Amino acid sequence: MISEEQINSRALKIIPLGGLGEIGLNMMVLEYENTIVLIDAGLMFPEDDMLGIDIVIPDFAYLKQRRANVRALVVTHGHEDHIGAIPFLLREFPIPIYGTPLTLALIHEKLKEHGLSTRTKLKTVLPGETIDLEPFHIEFIQVCHSIPDGAGLAIHTPEGIVIHSGDFKIDNTPIDGKRFDLARFGSYGEKGVKVLLSDSTNVERPGHTLSEKDVGETLKDIFQSSTGRIMVAVFASNLHRIQQVIHLARSFGRKVLLNGRSMVSNVRIGRELGSLDFPPEEEINFGELNRLPDSQVLLLTTGSQGEPMSALSRMAFEGHKKLKIKKGDTVILSSKFIPGNERTIHNVINRLYRHGAEVIHEQVRDIHVSGHAYQEELKTLMSVVRPTFFIPIHGEYRHLVKHKQLAMTMGIPGENCFLLEDGDVFAIFEGEARVMGRVETGRVLVDGKGVGDVEGLVLRDRRHLSEDGLVIATLVINKQTKSILSGPDILSKGFIHEDSKPEVLDHAKSIIMEVFNRIVQEDFELDCSLLESEIKRELKRFFNRILYRRPVIYVLLTDI
């Protein structure tokens, strides 16, 4: 009889380190015996309570314990939630990276920024080609998404074929003519697929996604009715949308000005790879801008999410050195409002209107389509792949649950649908599948140059400071004579202003004096630590009683 230990060492393991239970942070481990291959290494942007945090990346603890086994990173496409953690991964694991041309070009730019361009080898794989990472043989399959060069993966393993959908939609009229390769997925369905890992982002939406070309028709209507400058804010990675805007500019006799560092960088990459049809004579610089009539100007800019330092936000709040919004401008926010960004975006829209611009966004016109499959497309993929086992990936927990339910309506037995979360170990051994416990995983917070040094207690302190403010009480004493040489003084930051309620701070000083006199009488040697803790306790009680507030209180005692 085979032992549990033998099964554990010889099973095919699929372990999500991120992306199952949240949007972003996508990272998957494929493990068989002594070989680990990674799929994607993405980041997540901080949630509202992660004060001061720049980005969030997966925890690599499980990989560090198996450092010698980590062979390669395979990347499905070039969005930040799939490539954003790569620089941090490479610092630990200088492994080769496999991806399509645009994906690798974006990764190369990122590595240059981090001084890591010589840390790894970038190996180009085209759709239809297979890479050998023994015992895994991985074919890249063409898919459609909101960025060119997206790929699904057909992974040949000792336990059968695993299909990883990547982020996808089924678009029959893609801008670049590269259609979702449903036939290739179907050919694997004919051979027999053991596991399907499928994107869950839009599982709650019935029907089909619109084609990217449908956005082009709406944009064309806007161009026809606009007589002033047109500004289109779009994700710099959405080269299909950028291409449509450039084509429309050409059709309506407008020259294109690129605005924003990532926009300039990504358009350059798109030109170099042939992904963008954008001749140099159609582009203008800031010096040429004012020499053209407004009706011949188009700005392609970043800032569709209202990011404070983005080009569009700086224009809206009059912080841009070279561009100002004026009456007659038409501003198009050609992207979805990401949940959590609504207030920031609305603030930018209001400022744009104050300057006399007309603003068009997804809530008033169809100027954006999703890059993620709706229910009917998800069902189509299931129907052609016909997997034995199904695992929903890429989504919050409710998305994973809904996708499992959808799979069951397609005839996949409930016991063959596995609802995993980050850290769960899905294992297949001799055709049987189960979840074999969990591995260490989690979220690593990146704050400036600090990686993982900001944890729960620090965030709690930051939240406390942001909500209740800070009070610092200072006192200079002579421990030998048991006398006060200076103070007590109180500094309030974010709690109350000294001029607004001076009586409260004066009373707080009196409390410090009372505590000091009591401790002097009770303690022969004047214990400074006891004095500090008593002052803190009495001030906390006082502020809560008088103002119903609980500021962070620091007591600084200096003994001279």
Look-up: residue for tokens 């969005």?
79
Residue 541 lies in domain: 469-559
Which CATH number covers residue 338?
3.40.50.10710
Instruction: Render pLDDT for 382-417 as a digit per residue (tens, 0 to 9).
Output: 999 999 999 999 999 999 999 999 999 999 999 999
- Please check whether residue 349 is in contact with residue 310, taking contact to mean a CB–CB distance below 8 angstroms: no
Asked whether residue 141 falls in the same domain as residue 251, the answer is no
- Please check whether residue 252 is in contact with residue 223, taking contact to mean a CB–CB distance below 8 angstroms: yes
Asked whether residue 233 falls in the same domain as residue 338, the answer is yes
Asked whether residue 30 falls in the same domain as residue 174, the answer is yes
Q: Which of 451, 481, 515 is the last residue of a domain?
A: 451
Q: Which of 314, 338, 360 is the last residue of a domain?
A: 360
Query: Does residue 458 fall inside a structural domain?
Result: no
Query: Does residue 291 fall inside a structural domain?
Result: yes
DSSP symbol at 464: H
**Whole-number pLDDT of residue 554:** 82
Backbone angles phi, psi at 233, to 5 degrees: -95, 125
CA separation for the pair 7, 137 (Å, rounded): 22
Query: Does residue 457 fall inside a structural domain?
Result: no
DSSP symbol at 67: G
- Please check whether residue 195 is in contact with residue 184, taking contact to mean a CB–CB distance below 8 angstroms: no
CA angle 362, 46, 13 (to 5 degrees): 100
Residue ranges in the chain whose pLDDT is less than 50: 1-2, 51, 450, 452-454
**Whole-number pLDDT of residue 452:** 47
Handedness of CA 317, 323, 326, 331 (dihedral sign): negative
| 339 contacts: CB under 8 Å, gap ≥ 6 | none
Count of domains observed in the chain: 3
Q: Which of 360, 391, 417 is the last residue of a domain?
A: 360
Nearest to 31 by CA among 429, 431, 441, 432: 429
Asked whether residue 444 falls in the same domain as residue 492, the answer is no
CA separation for the pair 264, 302 (Å, rounded): 10
CA separation for the pair 329, 348 (Å, rounded): 14
DSSP E strands in 100-150: the ranges are 122-124, 130-133, 136-142
- 3-state secondary structure string, 141-206? EECECCCCCCEEEEEEECCEEEEECCCCECCCCCCCCCCCCHHHHHHHHHHCEEEEEEECCCCCCC
**Whole-number pLDDT of residue 552:** 82
Which CATH number covers residue 541?
3.10.20.580
CA separation for the pair 515, 440 (Å, rounded): 48
pTM: 0.81
Asked whether residue 155 falls in the same domain as residue 236, the answer is no
Q: Looking at this protein, which amino acid is placed at residue 371?
A: G
Asked whether residue 164 falls in the same domain as residue 24, the answer is yes
DSSP labels, 324-353: ---TT-EEEE-S---TT-HHHHHHHHHHHH
Asked whether residue 251 falls in the same domain as residue 163, the answer is no
Query: Does residue 456 fall inside a structural domain?
Result: no
Paired residues of 142 in beta bridges: 151
Which CA distances in Å does 468 have to 36, 305, 350, 473, 491? 47, 29, 30, 16, 14
CA separation for the pair 446, 420 (Å, rounded): 26
- 3-state secondary structure string, 277-295? CCCHHHECCHHHHCCCCHH
Asked whether residue 392 falls in the same domain as residue 340, the answer is no
Backbone angles phi, psi at 500, to 5 degrees: -80, -40
Asked whether residue 511 falls in the same domain as residue 377, the answer is no
Backbone angles phi, psi at 503, to 5 degrees: -65, -30
**Mind telling me the catalytic residues?**
199, 372
User: Which pair of structure tokens corresponds to residue 221?
Assistant: 């209507």
- Please check whether residue 426 is in contact with residue 420, taking contact to mean a CB–CB distance below 8 angstroms: yes
| 553 contacts: CB under 8 Å, gap ≥ 6 | 470, 471, 472, 473, 536, 539, 540, 543
Query: Does residue 47 fall inside a structural domain?
Result: yes
**Whole-number pLDDT of residue 453:** 47
CA separation for the pair 553, 395 (Å, rounded): 41
- Please check whether residue 155 is in contact with residue 192, taking contact to mean a CB–CB distance below 8 angstroms: no
**Whole-number pLDDT of residue 541:** 87
**Whole-number pLDDT of residue 54:** 65
**Whole-number pLDDT of residue 524:** 61
Asked whether residue 113 falls in the same domain as residue 241, the answer is no
Q: Which helix (H) or strand (E) is 428 found in, with range?
A: strand 424-429
User: Which pair of structure tokens corresponds to residue 393?
Assistant: 């990936």
Backbone angles phi, psi at 479, to 5 degrees: -65, -35
Asked whether residue 507 falls in the same domain as residue 403, the answer is no
